[in-house]
Chains A and B, each alone.
Chain A
Amino acid sequence: MTTPLPLRHAAEQEAARLPPLLARAEHLAGTVLLGEHGRRRAGMGDDFWQYRPVQAGDSRRMVDWRRSARSDAEFVREREWQVAQSVMLWVDTAASMRFASSKDLPEKSDRARLIALATAILLIRGGERVGLTGTTLPPRRGRAQIIRLAERLSDTQAADYGTPEARAMLPHARAVFISDFLGDITAVEAALTKAADRGVRGVLCQVLDPSEESFPFQGRTIFESVGKSLRHETLKAGELKTRYLDRLAARKDALRHLCRVTGWQFTTHHTDSPAQAALLWLHSALERPA
């Protein structure tokens, strides 16, 4: 039985983390100017787009009689194509993300959360529906969804490496996967293929710590994963550097290749570079037509 006091304390601590995250995400999102609205072409929607002369094949019901009565020709009224996009986020909350190589750097999960939430804020402002992959938080509009996203993103996971959640993906939706992608690549592969099957396009954002890129280790070392499930002992860590870097590059190549074949986009973000760069890249990547 959990005692109420520690529970409440923990709850308040968790809750206290939300506003700063929200505020930082809002702040980050505020740096991106939202200049584009709508799809700029005729389609399904509520807003008027244009009148055009009736062409062969248009049914009679499509003729806008009020406009046609003012002239000799018959016109069809077109509306702007306004399809609300659904964007599904998956942020790796596994243990491997809770790592920072120095005190000056944020943890990877921290940065991942920030980028994800800021992206969500931007998208929701743009009128899109944002949710999480899986069934926990389906895409919705509105500010309340941001609060809910923030809550869910603050969850943590005990497993060492996260696997992308690819269930309950809306067809033709957009997806953003943020992780370090250091775990088993087959899960990523499966998730991406599944998403591609459903016509979901999206973005892979790999968040890495600088030490994971440079491998600055020497001497006899036991490397352990954050969750302590994996360990590797070496006598000369310095000797491993090139081979590790080769493997990292291979992993990135694999991810890039996966993205290319599934129509996704891939980027790598380092926690020592500003989050804004990643956010801008994500935003523009999502704006790109599918």
Chain B
Amino acid sequence: MIGALGFTAPWLLLALAALPILWILLRAVPPAPVRRIFPGVALLLGLQDDEQISDRTPWWLLLLRMLAVAALIVGLAGPVLNPRSQEPGRGPLLIAMDASWASAADWPQRKELLERVLSDAARAERPVALLSLTAPEPVRFQAASAAQSRLPGVLPAAWEPVVSAEALSALLPDGRFDTVWFSDDLARDTRAELAALFTTRGTLRVMAGETGTMALAPLRYEAGATVIEARRSLSGPAMTLPVQIHGKDPSGTPRILANAEITFASGAQSAITELALPAELRARISHAALANTRSAGAVTLSDDSLRRREVALFAGREDREGLELLSPLHYLRQALAPNADLLEGPLQDMLPAAPDVVILADVASLSPADEADLTEWVTDGGLLVRFAGPRLAASDVSRSAEHPLMPVRLRAGGRSVGGAMSWGTPKALAPFDAESPFAGLALPADVTVSSQVMAQPDPTLADRVIASLSDGTPLVTRKPLGDGQVVLFHVTANAEWSSLPLSGLFVDMLDRLAISSLAATPEAADLQGSIWQAVQVLDGFGRISEAGTLPGVSGEALLDAPLGADLRPGLYQGEARRIARNVIRADTQLSAATWPAGTDIRPLQTEPETPLGGMLLSLALTLLLIDIVVSLALSGRLRGAVAGILAAGFLGLPVEAQNGDEFALAAASELVLAHVITRNAAIDDTALAGLRGLSDTLIFRTSIEPAAPISVDLERDELAFFPLLYWPITPDQPTPSDAAYAKLNEYLRSGGMILFDTRDADIARFGAASPNGRKLQALAAPLDIPPLEPLPADHVLTRTFYLLQDFPGRHAARDVWVEAAPPDAEQVEGMPFRNLNDGVTPVVIGGNDWAAAWATDMRGNALFPIGRGYAGERQRELAHRFGVNLVMHVLTGNYKSDQVHVPALLDRLGQ
């Protein structure tokens, strides 16, 4: 083997050594002279040649022959580009595959190579077993063909193999076998021991990727910017990777929110780029992905840790302008601003921005609209936090009956303790219950409450209190409402009624209520005993899919356990937050695999085996042919005829070309009907004959006098010349290119009409029931087609020339679809005005095979029988009438439509 070149019979190359001898031999032998009988030789005697030309073969001719012989020898030696290793193996063959996410990027190559190995094994009749190290199963050797049939199901998993050598050896059968290990290129602890295990059982060959693995680390939010970090396993040269940030747009459609580029410095194994995204946008990020790498590692899901909660603050009426410290919102702002995005403004403006939390500070009553919206928002999962205050205490809200947006009923007036006019001292806080969300928070001694609103002692009160004062009166109450909850602080949000807002406890409490951001990664202790449900999971290729009914995962496992079939990478939903478990974690480092010395490592060869022998032999043959011609020419035997034949041989095939200008002239000089070429000769002929018949009918009956119809190639021809395109549908016609579709859409928008004919109304109705119908749907999907409706009885097509109610062709189905009238079309005498496209429907879709009904030969005889007897002829007549109406409809635009509406129009003009 020389580089990527191998020979099937390398010993033949020794014959190349004979070339110099051949050179000498050939040089010694001059070209044979022609012997000619010529009586005039008597006159020639004594004439000498002008030049003393050596009668040896010219060197270039010799070289030509040498090349030919060399090509022959090399060609016969069977050169093969990228030869497959022809290793005759025998005995069972185990194909072990890492099948991890790191293999997903070059999975097609791996699969191709795997197929090749399997087919080689099938040829050698070796039993084969497929072992996926990410999902190890007991190994059973079976026929290679059986393994081949399993091949489509072999897919990379989204995790790395975790099986240990001991666990694996329990799965392996007894006896010896050879192993081919399709490995990814990531370092792994188990690699060496697995290799040792395989080596003890037979020969081991490793097929390893060479390109290195690229992956994305989880997104971080640092100092006002989103940090995207990419890592790679090989510290190669500098390179730039495009990254796409995915998320939902405000309407909920998944989109690419931002594009970025990450540039690895030469030799660096990680690189970061920072992206300054508005909080709005950042909150919507669902995941980031390396644009041109397909693997689970190249996708990183984002969870709540990237989000900053949006908190809407609403204080009702703030009439005390300028008194900042007395503002009910001041302490809230101070507490929340560092790690939440605050919204302030009218409720109606804030609610559509979907805040996570709405805080109402001393708001007694809301407008009915506000209240309804807010209730709906809470029911949908919002968190409403209310603070009491003088206004709430003075109002009648939730006084006699519990207000939906209040957790408890309130007594009138509230109470004040420890004031100048009251007995007693300001109350301190009681320790929090274990069930309270505030459980465990330290109580500063200096927090006192001097005023509060009092809850009515209802039966449900005890359940709703989550914090209380030392005298047992509720300080914070909470009730669920739909999916959301309503929390009421019975004190003000400023320091008027209590010193709570002045203390650090206030911030902690807001934190516990999940009002402020959850920026920190949760600790294992935080997740103790919690169960998390997968919402979205990644597969090995990095595709995100809904998790369905995967079993829940315990919180500790979610944080620490290695990924596997039980813990798939994905997005997990807990009680109040989501945690993303990505393939690459913040601390994962990628490094290239290391193999035990002496391991037989092969690259994933992707170039197909190319035998070059035939090429070289034909080269030799060509050279010899040239040699013949040249030798003939040298010896004067080459006649003009031979040269002529050779010259004729070099002539190319005549090129079929439709000159654009000629086409335009032919199509534009006169009105011309046209059909779309389907590449099915019979259908095309029928379509052309049909349009010819229709053209004749038009000439005989109307003032429309079309020229001979034209077949149109969508790819090549300009469509603008044709008022009507007849498009018969065949299941196997080629789909037009994007350029052709652009042309078609332009055509439709500029007033053209396409008559789609599925030609199968005898067996199928409109829709995807038939192959033609399905093909029509596929063909028409990229077209700019408006909503359709079955041709209504009052449609202008029924009366543009003839009065028609049926539109038969060769078949007589009633299913003919045209552009639907706009729903708000003005009805005049029951007839809606249709204004789009000058009142002309851009498409007519049916399956009646009109062309067959219209088709005539050159003499005007009908080509296809329609129906039976007189009824059939009547049907053909109606088909022609439909054609006339159709062409008339296209050509007259809204004129005919207006004719229908003339009385109404006159009426409008007041005449």
Indicate if B167 sits at the interface (CB-CB under 8 A).
Answer: no
Q: With both chains docked as a complex, state the minimum distance between the C-beta of B634 and any C-beta of chain A, in angstroms.
A: 6
Chain A residues lying within 8 Å of B42, measured Cβ to Cβ, are 96, 160-161, 182-183, 225, 230
Chain B residues lying within 8 Å of A212, measured Cβ to Cβ, are 38-40
Beta-carbon contact of B41 and A237 below 8 Å: no
Q: With both chains docked as a complex, state the minimum distance between the C-beta of A97 and any C-beta of chain B, in angstroms.
A: 8
Chain B residues lying within 8 Å of A217, measured Cβ to Cβ, are 36, 38, 636
Binds A, one of B49-57, B271-279, B643-651: B49-57
Beta-carbon contact of A240 and B44 below 8 Å: yes
Indicate if A234 sits at the interface (CB-CB under 8 A).
Answer: yes
CA distance A234 to B636 in the complex (A): 12
Beta-carbon contact of A219 and B41 below 8 Å: no
Given contacts A220-B55, A222-B34, A234-B49, contact A244 B636 (CB under 8 A): no
Beta-carbon contact of B36 and A223 below 8 Å: yes
Indicate if B35 sits at the interface (CB-CB under 8 A).
Answer: yes
Q: With both chains docked as a complex, state the minimum distance between the C-beta of B876 and any C-beta of chain A, in angstroms.
A: 67
Given contacts A240-B47, A244-B43, contact A225 B636 (CB under 8 A): no
Indicate if B31 sits at the interface (CB-CB under 8 A).
Answer: yes
Cβ-closest chain B residue relative to A215: B40
* B13-47 to A contact mask, C-beta < 8 Å, 1/0: 00000000000000000110111111111111101
Beta-carbon contact of A231 and B53 below 8 Å: no
Task: Find A226's partner among B31, B37, B45 (CB 8 Å cutoff).
Answer: B37
Beta-carbon contact of A221 and B636 below 8 Å: yes
Beta-carbon contact of A225 and B41 below 8 Å: yes
Indicate if A66 sits at the interface (CB-CB under 8 A).
Answer: no
Indicate if A235 sits at the interface (CB-CB under 8 A).
Answer: yes
Given contacts A99-B37, A222-B36, A224-B37, contact A239 B45 (CB under 8 A): no
Beta-carbon contact of B43 and A248 below 8 Å: yes
* B144-157 to A contact mask, C-beta < 8 Å, 1/0: 00000000000000
Beta-carbon contact of A221 and B36 below 8 Å: yes
Indicate if A27 sits at the interface (CB-CB under 8 A).
Answer: no
Beta-carbon contact of B50 and A236 below 8 Å: yes
Indicate if A60 sits at the interface (CB-CB under 8 A).
Answer: no
Cβ-closest chain A residue relative to B34: A221
Indicate if B425 sits at the interface (CB-CB under 8 A).
Answer: no
Chain A residues lying within 8 Å of B53, measured Cβ to Cβ, are 235-236
Given contacts A219-B637, A236-B49, A240-B47, contact A224 B33 (CB under 8 A): no
Chain A residues lying within 8 Å of B45, measured Cβ to Cβ, are 230, 232
Given contacts A219-B34, A220-B635, A221-B636, contact A235 B49 (CB under 8 A): yes
Beta-carbon contact of B39 and A231 below 8 Å: no
Chain B residues lying within 8 Å of A215, measured Cβ to Cβ, are 40
Beta-carbon contact of B47 and A222 below 8 Å: no
Indicate if A156 sits at the interface (CB-CB under 8 A).
Answer: no
Chain B residues lying within 8 Å of A230, measured Cβ to Cβ, are 41-42, 45
Within 8 A of A (CB), among B86-100: none
Within 8 A of A (CB), among B199-228: none
Beta-carbon contact of A243 and B34 below 8 Å: no
* B551-580 to A contact mask, C-beta < 8 Å, 1/0: 000000000000000000000000000000
* A151-183 to B contact mask, C-beta < 8 Å, 1/0: 000000000110000000000000000001011
Q: With both chains docked as a complex, state the minimum distance between the C-beta of A238 and any C-beta of chain B, in angstroms.
A: 7
Task: Find B43's partner among A211, A221, A251 (CB 8 Å cutoff).
Answer: A251
Q: With both chains docked as a complex, state the minimum distance between the C-beta of A242 and any C-beta of chain B, in angstroms.
A: 10
CA distance A192 to B259 in the complex (A): 111
Within 8 A of A (CB), among B40-94: 40-45, 47, 49-51, 53, 55
Beta-carbon contact of A248 and B38 below 8 Å: no
CA distance A217 to B638 in the complex (A): 11
Task: Find A211's partner among B38, B50, B635 (CB 8 Å cutoff).
Answer: B38
Beta-carbon contact of A180 and B47 below 8 Å: no
Q: With both chains docked as a complex, state the minimum distance between the C-beta of A210 and any C-beta of chain B, in angstroms.
A: 12
CA distance A230 to B50 in the complex (A): 21
- Of the listed residues B41, B47, B636, B637, the one surrounded by the most CB atoms of chain A closer than 10 A to its CB is B41
Indicate if A17 sits at the interface (CB-CB under 8 A).
Answer: no
Q: With both chains docked as a complex, state the minimum distance between the C-beta of A81 and any C-beta of chain B, in angstroms.
A: 43
CA distance A221 to B51 in the complex (A): 15
Chain A residues lying within 8 Å of B39, measured Cβ to Cβ, are 96-97, 99, 108, 180, 182, 209, 212, 225-226
Beta-carbon contact of B41 and A218 below 8 Å: no
CA distance A232 to B39 in the complex (A): 11
CA distance A226 to B40 in the complex (A): 10
- Of the listed residues A180, A232, A234, A247, the one surrounded by the most CB atoms of chain B closer than 10 A to its CB is A232
Chain A residues lying within 8 Å of B51, measured Cβ to Cβ, are 236, 239
* A8-42 to B contact mask, C-beta < 8 Å, 1/0: 00000000000000000000000000000000000
Q: With both chains docked as a complex, state the minimum distance between the C-beta of A162 and any C-beta of chain B, in angstroms.
A: 11
Cβ-closest chain A residue relative to B30: A220
Q: With both chains docked as a complex, state the minimum distance between the C-beta of A286 and any C-beta of chain B, in angstroms.
A: 27
Beta-carbon contact of A244 and B34 below 8 Å: no
Cβ-closest chain A residue relative to B42: A182
CA distance A220 to B631 in the complex (A): 11
CA distance A64 to B266 in the complex (A): 144
- Of the listed residues A223, A224, A234, A244, the one surrounded by the most CB atoms of chain B closer than 10 A to its CB is A223
Beta-carbon contact of B44 and A219 below 8 Å: no
Cβ-closest chain A residue relative to B50: A239
CA distance A244 to B47 in the complex (A): 8
Chain B residues lying within 8 Å of A104, measured Cβ to Cβ, are none
CA distance A29 to B654 in the complex (A): 57
Chain B residues lying within 8 Å of A225, measured Cβ to Cβ, are 37-39, 41-42
Beta-carbon contact of B38 and A220 below 8 Å: no
Beta-carbon contact of A233 and B33 below 8 Å: yes
CA distance A182 to B38 in the complex (A): 11
CA distance A217 to B50 in the complex (A): 16
Cβ-closest chain A residue relative to B33: A220
Chain A residues lying within 8 Å of B637, measured Cβ to Cβ, are 219
Beta-carbon contact of A219 and B35 below 8 Å: no
Beta-carbon contact of B49 and A219 below 8 Å: no
Q: With both chains docked as a complex, state the minimum distance between the C-beta of B52 and any C-beta of chain A, in angstroms.
A: 9
CA distance A222 to B634 in the complex (A): 15
CA distance A109 to B43 in the complex (A): 19
Q: With both chains docked as a complex, state the minimum distance between the C-beta of A32 and any C-beta of chain B, in angstroms.
A: 29
Beta-carbon contact of A182 and B40 below 8 Å: yes
Cβ-closest chain B residue relative to A185: B42
* A46-81 to B contact mask, C-beta < 8 Å, 1/0: 000000000000000000000000000000000000
Beta-carbon contact of B636 and A238 below 8 Å: yes
* A172-200 to B contact mask, C-beta < 8 Å, 1/0: 00000000101100000000000000000
CA distance A209 to B39 in the complex (A): 9
Beta-carbon contact of A232 and B41 below 8 Å: yes
Beta-carbon contact of B49 and A239 below 8 Å: yes
Chain B residues lying within 8 Å of A96, measured Cβ to Cβ, are 39, 42
Chain B residues lying within 8 Å of A239, measured Cβ to Cβ, are 49-51
Cβ-closest chain A residue relative to B632: A219
Chain A residues lying within 8 Å of B636, measured Cβ to Cβ, are 217-221, 237-238
Q: With both chains docked as a complex, state the minimum distance between the C-beta of B600 and any C-beta of chain A, in angstroms.
A: 62
CA distance A243 to B46 in the complex (A): 11
Q: With both chains docked as a complex, state the minimum distance between the C-beta of B304 and any C-beta of chain A, in angstroms.
A: 93
Chain B residues lying within 8 Å of A240, measured Cβ to Cβ, are 44, 47, 49
Beta-carbon contact of A243 and B55 below 8 Å: no
Chain B residues lying within 8 Å of A183, measured Cβ to Cβ, are 42
18 pairs across A/B with beta carbons < 8 Å? A96-B42, A97-B39, A99-B37, A99-B38, A182-B39, A209-B39, A212-B40, A217-B38, A220-B33, A222-B33, A224-B35, A226-B37, A226-B39, A231-B41, A233-B33, A234-B49, A236-B53, A248-B43
A-B pairs, 9 with minimum CB distance: A219-B636, A218-B636, A96-B39, A223-B41, A220-B33, A219-B635, A247-B43, A223-B38, A232-B44
Binding site for B on A (CB under 8 A): 96-97, 99, 108, 160-161, 180, 182-183, 209, 211-212, 215, 217-226, 230-240, 243-244, 247-248, 251
Known pairs A182-B40, A220-B636 / 20 extra A-B pairs, C-beta < 8 Å: A180-B39, A182-B39, A209-B39, A215-B40, A217-B38, A219-B635, A221-B33, A223-B36, A223-B40, A224-B38, A225-B38, A225-B41, A235-B53, A236-B53, A239-B50, A240-B44, A240-B49, A247-B43, A248-B43, A251-B43
